[in-house]
Amino acid sequence: MTSLAYRHQRVQRLRRLVGRRSARADEGRFVIEGANLLDEALKAHAPIEAVYLDAGWSSARGAAAEPGPDGYRTARLAWPEPEPASPLRQARLSGLVAQCYEQGARVFELEAGVLARVAGTVTPQPVIAVVGMPVCTMADVGAAHPRLLVVCIDVRDPGNAGTVVRSAWAAGADAVVCCEGTVDVWNPKAVRSSAGAVLHVPVVSAGPATEVLTEMGEWGLARLGTAATGGADYANTDLTRPTALVLGNEAAGLALAELSSYLDGVVSVPMAAGAESLNVGMVAAVLCFEAARQRRQATAVPVVMPGHEDGGTGKLAGI
């Protein structure tokens, strides 16, 4: 297999997709790194366009390979024993890349040192891939009659944005809506922080916050802003109704003076004396899982305990 050098046009395209939001938006493609995210992409049936392997991880030994249109080979790859990879890791990565190849992805090897220059991590994984970006609009979200949405307004850190998406997916939220000014959730760091959740929960890149919140109000959602202090206790707030949880900037929070007329309430997470605030990703997790808890409790089926069939002491299933 011919290895791609740093100056190759495919490698330069990878650099653009890793580093530029505009390139990702123009192409509708983003980059994932590592076996875990590759596995999530396969589970989500995401369109995997191409897979790139670090030098020394791929070998044409025992593989059926055909020249591609540009003269480079695409193949179902078999790996020699890499160091210091364990046999289990070797077998897992081999199997994942084979699945990608079977589903139509191109597979390439990079020259030594190229992946480290392209990837956005200090110690990169031995595989990266180009994946088609899922497309979801506000109209799509509204048509699905959502019951729980997470809204990001001016969230700037990609790690935080990824954590918000991960929490939303884990708690069963219907979608995450990123208003104008929020970091690109297809940023490689955000994708890593989401642990692949961006491939499973609908994520919308939307317009100005006021327009987004107005539309959600028309859908009948209770728009609940968040504040470090001064809001209603989140645990005493009804989160079983259709709700949009609105999160603000890491440092400044929500601009409540500007957004108050677009919100139906403000909630806070009570903290111990002296604690200033919570990370926005942690707030998303606390609120999303409280909403999930309330909804489970509201739909729990009463179970009558033996000996109390005529209305004595009972317990709620799962409590």
* pLDDT tens-digit series, residues 246-297: 999 998 999 999 999 999 999 999 988 877 778 999 999 999 999 999 999 9
Q: What mean pLDDT is reported for the chain? A: 86
Q: How is the beta sheet containing 243-247 ordered, strand by strand? A: 203-205, 175-178, 148-152, 243-247, 222-226, 265-268, 232-233
Residues facing 131 on adjacent strands: 30, 48
**What's the token pair of residue 112?**
């030594």
pLDDT value at position 60?
Answer: 35
Residue from 150, 154, 213 nearest 183 by CA: 154
Considering the entire predicted model, what is its pTM? 0.84
For the domain with range 138-299, which CATH number is right: 3.30.470.20, 3.40.1280.10, 3.30.460.80, 3.40.220.10?
Answer: 3.40.1280.10
Q: What is the pLDDT of residues 217-250, one digit of tens each?
A: 999 999 999 999 999 999 999 999 999 999 999 9
3-state secondary structure of 48: strand
Higher per-residue confidence, 318 vs 146: 146
pLDDT band at residue 81, thresholds of 50, 70 and 90? very low
Domain ranges of the chain: 3-132, 138-299
Q: Which residue has the tokens 């987004």?
A: 212
Please tell me the predicted confidence (pLDDT) of residue 123: 72
* DSSP code at position 174: S
Lowest mean pLDDT among 16-25, 72-81, 289-298: 72-81
Residue labelled with tokens 């179970």: 303
Listed residue (178, 256, 192, 184) closest to 224, CA to CA = 256
pLDDT at residue 274 in the model: 76
Decide if 146 contacts 174 (C-beta within 8 A). yes
At residue 273, the pLDDT reads 82
pLDDT beyond 80 at 197: yes
Query: Which one, of 257, 261, 282, lies nearest residue 271 by Cα?
Result: 282
Peptide bond preceding 306 in cis form (omega within 30 of 0):
no
CATH class, 3-132 region: alpha beta
Residue the block writes with tokens 């139906």:
264
Percent of the chain with pLDDT over 90: 71
Q: Are 186 and 161 in contact (CB under 8 A)?
A: no
Given a contact cutoff of 8 angstroms between Cβ atoms, the answer to whether 55 and 156 are in contact is no
